[in-house]
Structure 1
Amino acid sequence: MKIVTNEKLIERNAKIGKYTGFISFAIFAAGIFISYKYPEQMGYSLLALMSGFILSQISMYFVNRWGRVPRPDEALNAALKGLDDRYALYHYSSPVSHLLVGPAGLLILLPYFQKGVITYNENKKRWKRKGGNPYMSFFAQDSIGRPSNDIKFETQSLNKALSEIPDFEVPPIRAVLVFINEKAKVDAENAPSPTVHSVQLKKFIRKEAKGNNALSMVDVKTICDSLETA
């Protein structure tokens, strides 16, 4: 399997997460210091505390995506290790964050690090997680969020880019939710988009290569050539 990774972007964003974390801690500490040392300056203290909190959330966003060990791209690489050279995996080097192109089709991979039991509520049309600390879901950005929004945005971005290829009909674009935490248990067969644990991802891909969404090697080459010359 060919792997194309934007290492410069990963390194840059990891540094942003690291340094904004340090800065947020310093500002937060300054706010606490002001509140104790100069109680009459409570306005400045609150401003510092709020600024520190906002920066900490920005830091958490970057750390969760580019500072974790393993990173999402590394976890996907490990999960798909063993696929043959008909496949190409793109990390931050295509219109979407993680893209697998090969006989199994055109697959946007959406990695999630949350643990717990993952299900899909058909009535609310939302993925849900059972287990975990509700405070962590907010302060540590540990919630699943709304994958349907991510799927819609990334699908549109990829479709728009591939539509610019001359004399080429864009094949069906599908998204796969991949839970990479070893403590996650996926029970979402009723979800509108495939939802699997990373240990089952390669098996899923090989099964898809034999299904109705299989992609010809001519189309695979056309897509890969376009992505790598963009």
Structure 2
Amino acid sequence: MFGLVVVAVRMTNLWVRQPHPWDALQDGLKGVSGDLVLYNFLLPAPHVLVAPSGIYAIETRFQDRPQQVSGDRWRPNRGLFTFMRQEQIGNPSNDAQQAAA
């Protein structure tokens, strides 16, 4: 049952909850530079940003609370039942590096 809840939360956050990750990325890049190109779901990484300075793999996670980051370690500030409505943060830095490889 717990596994089903985790999968349902992940799918809801990815496909139902607004704003969608790809929309938030596009909105965040508006007005930055005309030299940037964002590819969503076309390459092995879910989101890839191509810029004159390089190619960047971008990982998105829905979180509505601040995260504590120390070096390469990510820790959420969460309550007892927060996991029921948010996906696990994992390690976005490591995930992006693996997606870029």
**Does TM-score exceed 0.5, indicating one fold?**
yes
Distance in 1 of aligned mates of 2:27 and 2:88: 24
One-letter identity of the residue aligned with 1:134:
L
Sequence identity (%):
32
Tell me, yes or no, if the aligned pair for 2:61 and 2:89 is still in contact at 8 Å.
Answer: yes
Alignment of 1:187-198 (within 5 A): none
Q: Identify, as 1 or 2, the structure richer in helix.
A: 1
SS of 1:111's equivalent in the other structure is coil
Letter matched to residue 136 of structure 1 = T
What residue number does 2:38 align with?
89
| 3-state SS in 1 of match to 2:75 | strand
1:156-191 Cα shifts (integer Å, max 9, x gaps): 2xxxxxxxxxxxxxxxxxxxxxxxxxxxxxxxxxxx
User: Structure 1 residue 133 and structure 2 residue 79: aligned?
Assistant: yes
Give the unaligned 5+ runs of structure 1: 1-49, 157-230
Q: Which SS does the other structure have where 2:81 is aligned?
A: helix
Q: 1:114 to 1:121 in 2, by over 3 A?
A: same
**Cα distance between partner residues in 2 of 1:142 and 1:150:** 14
Structure 2 unmatched ranges of 5 or more: none
**Which is higher, the Rg of structure 1 or of structure 2?**
1
Q: Residue type matched to 1:98 in 2?
A: H
TM-score normalised by the chain length of structure 1:
0.39
Q: What's the Cα RMSD here?
A: 2.1
* Cα distance in 2, alignment partners of residues 57 and 129 from structure 1: 16
Match of 2:97 in 1: 152
Shift of 1:103: 1.6
Q: How does 1:12-161 map to 2 (within 5 A)?
A: 50=1, 53-122=2-71, 125-130=72-77, 132-137=78-83, 139-156=84-101
Name which structure has the greater RCO, CA cutoff 8 Å, separation 6+.
Answer: 2
- CA distance, structure 1, for counterparts of residue 47 and residue 76 of structure 2: 23
Aligned equivalents of 1:71 and 1:109: distance in 2?
A: 14
**Matched pairs, number:** 101
Give the TM-score of the pair, scaled to structure 2: 0.79
How many angstroms apart in 2 are the aligned matches of 1:110 and 1:77? 14
Question: 1: distance between equivalents of 2:11 and 2:58?
Answer: 18
- 1:142 deviates by 3.6
